[in-house]
Structure 1
């Protein structure tokens, strides 16, 4: 399963505009709350997300939906306005958290983070308020309705013969390499974004872009679109403002890294779609 996918959440869109339904959910004795500290998840001793009983008097909770028939809310406790980075504590928690809980946390984090960064109307600048049970913000000034946004990002395994192009950024752990990635720009198709990003970052022209899979990525709120593309040649011209280093890895080297061998490079973490993409490329 690709990380951050597979949440057993019924989103109940039809109830988001129903204040009475929202009130019933808050008053339900079985309702549960996922309380984030800033944007960090509460984790139980077994690694699972820790849910607490919902307090009906709480006025800052957002309705995520239903989890196995139980109303589930999320709220942020503390500073959720700091840059949405991944702390070592969070990365350790994600490594042991059940996949369904990772996905649920991704939804909750993205929603809380979006509200913390979008407190004012983009049309008129007036302070906005929470609407639709937490899945929108409404502007009292001009009436505009704003919805949580997702930014599309392409991530691509660029192959040349029996090798794949890997790169790293200086902020990553020493030795870690991954597939190249970049934001889709306005007026650009996925295929065009793949070709542009690879050419800009590595100086490599590509053809035959093929879609593989997608992943919601809550850092802060992106949709990763994984593709495989074929390079016309293997000459690299690295943009050092984007990449610290890049190289062509053989299929055996990638397979070894995925199996835990760090002698050539450290593979992306299990919850990253880059790892799934490389696994597809090597045929696993």
Structure 2
């Protein structure tokens, strides 16, 4: 692991912006504890509120569907930010809205502002749903800082939203073939890049080498950072890499049950022939492969 070079893998570029990495709103973190400002913003009829629950939110056409504070449902209230003088909040009802869409469904079609607001809202709602109790004493915690802290009323400890870093990597060999694998829990024929969580005390580059070798038996020699995308399913940040590797794939049979090197021609023929299904349009995995492939991938994407 210590021999992994960090900057000598091919410098492919991700094509276009990542669907869930776009945002325009100022998160105005300094306002989260400003009770007077928060109250005034909530009384303002121009403030916009997004209902969120069960990982979903309402969409109308290609835009988020907001309501005024007066029409907002009951639920936990989170400040999302300010954009062009308008304050945006989310209200978490804990239940999927009747006309709800998910980030996988709506992420690619939302504009930059709405994509950032939706990702922020879903990520906060997911964290709150899983962290109702104090990790120290087990007491029920209370929402503070406009949804960005939970505080324990028993021991006074504060708990902040967590993000789990994960690496996702397209490995290339000396013949410029890419390595794709099929996860054990995935449908037949679905192939994607390899990925895994960064372990405590580990750098992302070392996680790339470890995960690729554990899952496929391929030895990574170098890797280069390509880009990042929030992935709140429920709380990950995907760190994308290109890497160089060598060896015949030997899937571990636990997480990865199939793994194969593909040339561009082989990938195109397999996708068009229905032999493989490639990553979904909202994923950084698809953009990593497209960066290497040099064009939009053939065949329909699967989310």
Query: Is 1:189–2:192 an aligned residue pair?
Result: no
What is the CA distance between 1:231 and its match in structure 2? 1.0
- What secondary structure does 2:146 align onto? helix
What is the CA distance between 1:42 and its match in structure 2? 0.6
Report the counterpart of residue 238 of structure 2 in structure 1: 224
CA contact (8 A) 1:206 1:230 kept: yes
Report the counterpart of residue 280 of structure 1 in structure 2: 291
* Structure-2 separation of matches of 1:90 and 1:73: 18
Query: Is 1:140–2:140 an aligned residue pair?
Result: no
Deviations 1:27-61 (A, max 9, x none): 111011100242212111x1321111113985621
Counterparts of residues 1-284 of structure 1 (less than 5 Å): 1-44=17-60, 46-55=61-70, 60-79=76-95, 91-98=104-111, 100-160=113-173, 161-233=175-247, 235-254=248-267, 261=272, 263-283=274-294
CA contact (8 A) 2:191 2:277 kept: yes
Of structures 1 and 2, the one with the larger relative CO (CA 8 A, separation 6+) is 2
What is the CA distance between 1:256 and its match in structure 2? 7.1
CA contact (8 A) 1:204 1:237 kept: yes
Q: 1:94 to 1:146 in 2, by over 3 A?
A: same
CA contact (8 A) 2:59 2:101 kept: no
* Structure-1 separation of matches of 2:289 and 2:162: 28
* Structure-2 separation of matches of 1:95 and 1:210: 26
What is the CA distance between 1:263 and its match in structure 2? 3.5
CA contact (8 A) 1:4 1:216 kept: yes
CA contact (8 A) 1:156 1:227 kept: yes
CA contact (8 A) 2:49 2:88 kept: yes
Deviations 1:197-225 (A, max 9, x none): 01110011111111111111110111101
TM-score normalised by length of structure 2: 0.83
Report the counterpart of residue 84 of structure 1 in structure 2: none
TM-score normalised by length of structure 1: 0.88
* Structure-2 separation of matches of 1:88 and 1:135: 23
What is the CA distance between 1:239 and its match in structure 2? 1.1
- Which stretches in structure 2 are left out of the alignment for 5+ residues? 1-16, 296-303
* Structure-1 separation of matches of 2:148 and 2:266: 44
* Structure-1 separation of matches of 2:167 and 2:241: 7
CA contact (8 A) 2:103 2:118 kept: no
Q: 1:143 to 1:150 in 2, by over 3 A?
A: same
Number of residue-to-residue matches in the alignment: 274
**More displaced stretch, 21-30 vs 171-180:** 171-180
CA contact (8 A) 2:19 2:108 kept: no
- Which stretches in structure 1 are left out of the alignment for 5+ residues? 81-86
CA contact (8 A) 2:225 2:242 kept: yes
